[in-house]
Structure 1
Amino acid sequence: MLYNKTDIKVRYGETDQMGIVNNAVYPSWFEIGRTELFDDLQLPYSEMEKQGIMLPLSELHIKYHSPAYYGDTVTIETKVIKMPGVRIVFDYEVSHNGRLITTGQTIQAFINADSRRPIRIPEDLKNSLQKYFE
């Protein structure tokens, strides 16, 4: 399993007039979790793109459990439970002091940057990740 835990502080611009985080913010927080996960693995998105691999979003699921507020420090937990094939599935939990705020899932497809066609996970990337799924 791949796993990352990232803390961020809720910024004023992410909230409405009542100080509650806008629902549209959560997908960008999920992206922070994905980016940090790959950075932790020493596999940043920028390097994958240089190798001609892109990971566009194909599905996004969000369930709202409770609000987050301006000034809260929230924890984004990002997991990949299953070895990727053509797609990679990320699961997310956002919480504040143990209170569940949001759960979600995104599915990204591996595509060739030039052809924009789906591809299987490249062998070198697969080999780099294999140890996390054994």
Structure 2
Amino acid sequence: MIRRKEQYNEASQLTVSHEIRVRFNETDPLGIVWHGYYITYFEDGREAFGREHGISYLDVNHYGYTTPIVKSVCEHKLSLRYGDVVRIETTIVDTPAAKMIFRYKIYDANNEIACTGETVQVFLDAKGDLVLNFPTFFEEWRRKVGLLK
């Protein structure tokens, strides 16, 4: 069976840049960020995106949905270190499927890409069932931000 890779467009106008400072507890004895924290940084980026664009976890929950992550990809390029102020760029990907795809770029203190990644989230209703079509509130949000005509 041949599977076709899905290709979607980043909605570049819907990118949020968010800075954080690397905390001591996120590093190993050499002061380098432990690899697992990059996923946490992606979440920091998603939360900043949600707050700025009115699609936060609390907003989604208000409408009776949750959006668990079903896939995450993380590619490490450079090490981050304790005390660095790093920038997380989070961009939503425009997709016709009933899911949210976010792409991330994490820049180190020298403004070089330290990490890239992607997460995919699906919609579950209040009973925990998978929703196969965009919820009405999310379609309205997509229209409001220019993803739907």
Task: Provide the TM-score with structure 2 as the length reference.
Answer: 0.83
1:66–1:59 Cα change, 3 Å: same
Q: Tell me what 2:119 maps to.
A: 106
Identity of aligned residues (%): 27
Secondary structure at 1:32 match in 2: helix
> Which aligned pairs between 1:24-43 and structure 2 lie closer than 5 A?
24-43=36-55
> Which aligned pairs between 1:24-103 and structure 2 lie closer than 5 A?
24-83=36-95, 85-96=97-108, 97-103=110-116
On the 8 A contact 2:93/2:100 being kept in 1, the answer is: no
Higher fraction of helix? 1
What is the deviation of 1:46?
1.1
1:115–1:62 Cα change, 3 Å: closer
Which residues of structure 1 form unaligned runs of 5+? none
Which residues of structure 2 form unaligned runs of 5+? 1-10
Letter in 2 for 1:46: L
Secondary structure at 1:5 match in 2: strand
Alpha-carbon RMSD: 1.5
Secondary structure at 1:112 match in 2: coil
Aligned residues: 134
For structure 1, which segment, 120-129 or 106-115, has the greater mean C-alpha deviation from structure 2 after superposition?
120-129
Letter in 1 for 2:122: A
Secondary structure at 2:146 match in 1: helix
2: CA distance between counterparts of 1:36 and 1:58?
20
On the 8 A contact 1:111/1:119 being kept in 2, the answer is: no
